[in-house]
Amino acid sequence: MPKKHAPAYTQAKPTYVHPSLQSSRASSSSTPSESQTVNQRIQQLRREQTPRATPEQRDELTSVVSSRTVPPDLRRILHIPEVNAPNPKPGLRSRRAIGGARPPPGPAAPNSWLLSSRHAPDYVRKMRRQQSGDERDAPRFCMLARVTNDEYRRLPPNRSLAHHCLRTFALHWEQLSEFEQHYLPMIPVSLREALPSYLTAYGARACLDFRSFRIMFQNEEGIGTSGWDEVRFLDLTGLLNEAFTIGDVGKCLKRQPLQLPNIGDLQLDESTKAKGKGKAIEVAESWEEEAEESISAQPVLMAALTTPYFANLSRLSLARPGPWASWPELLKISPNLNKITHFSLAYWPRPSTTPNAATTSMVSNITTVSLGGSHFYSDLDDDWHEATNILRRFSVNTYSLQWLDLEGCDWLKALSWRSDALLSVSRSDHDPEEWKYHTASPGPDWNDAWRRITYLNFFQGWIPADTESLQNIPAGMVPVQLMRWLRENNDRDDVSWKLNAHETGHAVTEWISREKMARSVRQEIQAARRAGKGSWCNIDHGWGTSAEIKVS
């Protein structure tokens, strides 16, 4: 019978020696110590560097381990206080908000994800804007583009792929318009309407010329593109330059006359055909010669860009023209603007047909006459004859306007200016001895040509945010209302781009005076509408509501 195996249990001696006993033991023993491995040496150093527990810590640990837990129901019955939760481990952060719901399981999201999220808190988004720069310096679309986007959704969202594609198109427009000109007509009409707005915001200066503009909206048959007659909105803000002027815009709004054949040529062709009826038909010697003759007889079609014709265009923006603003050219194309309902003339200069002759005068022996329609001191003399005359001629042709943007224009007084020299006197029809006084208005008629306008934008382009300069201005209705509006709306994201704290002193005083002048023009326009029983016109000053803005 086999013998059972009996395991031999050996007792291993403990190798750990407390650091406090090593010195005495090493001095007492004369035998050399065994060599330690690297791992053993590291563990020994860790034990030596660990601080020794104090008696208070030992007692606290003993009380926590020996204390018995009580169910919550019994704890409430016995009025035993609640035990505080253990402190979190060092190096970990709590993801659960106080009084909030438990977050989803798993590790916390990286900070980069939280900073770039659309659901980030307000303070995170504000910090992100401060790191990326001032929001006023970021490119912004014109007001007409924003209004059209609210109604028809022409601009893609900022986080969409279409937005980044259009931005790339605008940044590299000069190269893409040359090398991708055959594929641009295949872009949908909605994106082609948004592309000029992106050229305004992200494109280089003078990047658009008339040729590339025609390439953008060309309509050649056989490539499956939609016609340019579907375009309803055209944003040319800041795109006017030497190669793309207002006259070029007028070419796109006026249908070119068809070239009809001459009657004499038609009679000549008929006579030659009649004479050729009696002649014999010449037969070619071979099929190759006949094919070559037929090919040579066919007319050769030359590839050429045609001028687009926007038949259904109803919204046009010519804002920020810079030095290429020309009132004579605008008056020239104004007969073709009779279908425009929304128009933007933001930051246009004072209406004048001779702007370069404002400082030029003709001197004679009798008097000195200004060579231009408006002289250099027209603003000081309150002379708006030429400006009001141009606006009257422009309003006669743009009788379909419903929305007019005049942001940043300092000639708003010409909209309702009346001169004492235009006072006329006539006899009354009922009483011959009674005289009637008539004051003619040389400006636009708000109850006839522009009777359909229901919105005017009188925003000056910026709002002073320096409270010290506003407090130094003499007391008035406008500074008081502006101070109250700043206290209520200073932290809003959609208002921060309007505020300008760099302009102080005299600039703020000029802003207040122009705002008072705009309010007086608003009052005169509303009075004219009320007298003519016209529709109410909403005039926007860029800050405050209509209830807050009252004429002082």
Q: What is the pLDDT of residue 309?
A: 85
pLDDT digits (tens, 9 = 90+) for 428-480: 555 555 555 555 567 899 998 999 999 999 999 999 988 888 888 888 889 99
Give the model's pLDDT for residue 358.
Answer: 74
> What is the distance between the alpha carbons of residues 312 and 331, in angstroms, rounded to a whole number?
20
In the prediction, which pLDDT does 420 show? 58
Q: What are the φ/ψ torsions at residue 540 (nearest 5 degrees)?
A: -105, 125
User: Which residue from 301, 277, 498, 339 is spatially nearest to 407, judged by alpha carbons?
Assistant: 498
User: Tell me, what's the pLDDT at 22?
Assistant: 59
Question: Using one digit for the tens of pLDDT, what is the confidence trace for 36-63?
Answer: 889 898 888 888 887 777 888 777 777 7
Per-residue confidence (pLDDT) for residue 7, from 0 to 100: 66
- pLDDT on residue 208: 92
Q: How do 455-457 and 538-540 pair as beta strands? A: parallel
340/334 Cα distance (integer angstroms): 10
Contacts of residue 340, Cβ cutoff 8 Å, sequence gap at least 6: 313, 314, 315, 316, 398, 400, 401
Measuring CA to CA, which residue among 535, 237, 206, 260 is closest to residue 401?
A: 535
pLDDT-flagged residues of the chain (< 50): 30, 133-138, 222-225, 260-261, 266, 268, 270-279, 299-302, 423, 545-552
Which pLDDT score, from 0 to 100, does residue 440 have? Answer: 56
pTM over 0.95: no
List the one residue out of 382, 384, 385, 357 whose CA is nearest residue 371.
Answer: 357
Please tell me whether residue 344 adopts helix, strand or coil conformation. Answer: strand
Q: Tokens standing for 319?
A: 């804002």
Please work out, in degrees rounded to the nearest 5, the angle formed at the alpha carbon of residue 430 by the alpha carbons of 426 and 433: 55
